[in-house]
Structures are given as structure tokens and as C-alpha cells.
Structure 1
Amino acid sequence: MMDLIGYVTSSITAVYQKIAYLYQLEIEVNDDYELSVPTLAVEECHETALNRNVRLWMFRVLKCMAHDINNLVTLYNKQQLIDWDADGEPLTPPYSVVMPTSLTFSEINTVLDDDFKRALELLGQLERYANDMKGD
């Protein structure tokens, strides 16, 4: 089950690398040099078996990831790095994480795959808005 811990850790690390890049991109686009890129790291999990502690750790790090994504979404919305072509609401809606409800590996994997896929899609969307504003 250490695969699950490794999968969650590496997936959130990939999300965090993208978030750091997008903070840097916002700084460049808006000459916002007072803003600093936050240091984001995944809390380590030291368990050796899939147990309640691993489940609680997984929930903590997923909630933390959602919070960190939404801090970036809030910044991008505030800086008008938004979908100017949208009908209606151009602001990016907050990201919400879906927590796995069972301990079966296949269900956990499916839910997590979707969480990480949606997170990276949202970050890709923000990157497009920033690049549009930058004029690239």
C-alpha cells in the first residue's frame, strides 16, 4: 500500500510544482514583484500499512492541496487572469476535492485520478489565461 502513499505524494508534488510555476507566471505578467512564490510541500507519511492514519493523512494532504489551489485561483481572479471569452461568469470557480469514501484500492484510485486530473486541468486553464494576458 506504500504505492498509494507514493502516488498521492508524487501527484500532489506535481500539482505544487505547477502552482509554483503559475505564481511565477503571474509575477511576470503583472510585474507583481512584491508577491513571493509560496513554498509548498506535501506532509510526509511514515506509515507502513494502509490504516486509519494513512486515510487521515490522505484527507489532510488533499484538503491542503485544494486550499493551495484555491489561493492561486483567488489571486488569478483578483488579477483579472480570467476567461474573458466566457458567457456569463468569467471568474474561475474554486476547486473542490472529492474524498474517497471506501478503502478499496480501485475506488480510491479512481477518485484520486479524477481529483488530480481536474486539478491539473484547472491549473492548465489558469496558465492559458496568464499567457493570453502576457500576449504569448
Structure 2
Amino acid sequence: MPTKTDQILDMIAARPGIRSVEIAEEMAMEATAVSSLLKRLVDGGRLRAEQVTAPNGRKVTAYTMIGTFGDGSEVLVPRQLWSRVVGIPEKGPFSVGLASNGRLTLELGRKSMVLSAEQARQLVQYLDGINVEKILGPGSAA
């Protein structure tokens, strides 16, 4: 028989972005017990927690699974494509994730920025319109 933790992981894998309230309701568990299990899974590197806006306008935490590429770098699964990018030398590489819904996520260490599909489109247009070599110097453009 699967443990409560296994059931929660299965639920999150099937429905990325699910909230703790939904998990607690579906599993008939106390919200505090679910929150405790989720915190352990996030701290253990098995889940990613992200602040999102609920339909009622309140900020809530949504959960998604974490997987790995063959090189060991982390990637959210299953609905988001992530790439490890060479970053700021003293900070290490950063990650870029593009979700199937057009959201773009940029991460450096524990810092994260999520752009909506429209904001991502605007960023790409902006970057596409600038001369990177002129700004950063010769040899900096791919």
C-alpha cells in the first residue's frame, strides 16, 4: 500500500501546480499535516514550491515535481522544458524554463522570476531587437 507521501507525489506528478488545499481535500487530511509533508519534500529537493495567484486573488503555494537531466542539473517535469545556462561566475549557472503555456522562469540559486507568456514574448522581442555584440563586446553573441 502506498504511503501518504507516495500518494501526494503521484498527485503532484499527475497535476503539476496543484495546491496544498486541493491535496488536503482530496486525501481527506488536515491541511497542517499536508503542509508538513510538502515542506519535507521541498526541503529534500523532490518538489518545487511556487507562489501563484489563486482564482480568488490570494497568493498561494503551488507544487511541481523536480527531475534531473543526465548531467544532474534540475528540471521541472512534466510540462516545462529547462536549460542550464552559463551564468555569473561568482553565482554559478542559472536556469531558464519555458512552460508549454508560454511562461518563462529564470532562476539563479534560490532566486526565481516568472514571466507570463505575454511578458516572455515582450522580452524575446526586446532581446531580438538589440545588438548584443555592441553592448557586451565582440565574441559575446552566439
Name the TM tier (shorter chain).
under 0.3
* Higher helix residue share: 1
Identify which of structures 1 and 2 has the higher relative contact order when contacts are C-alpha pairs closer than 8 Å and 6+ apart: 1
Q: Which structure: larger Rg?
A: 2
* Higher strand residue share: 2
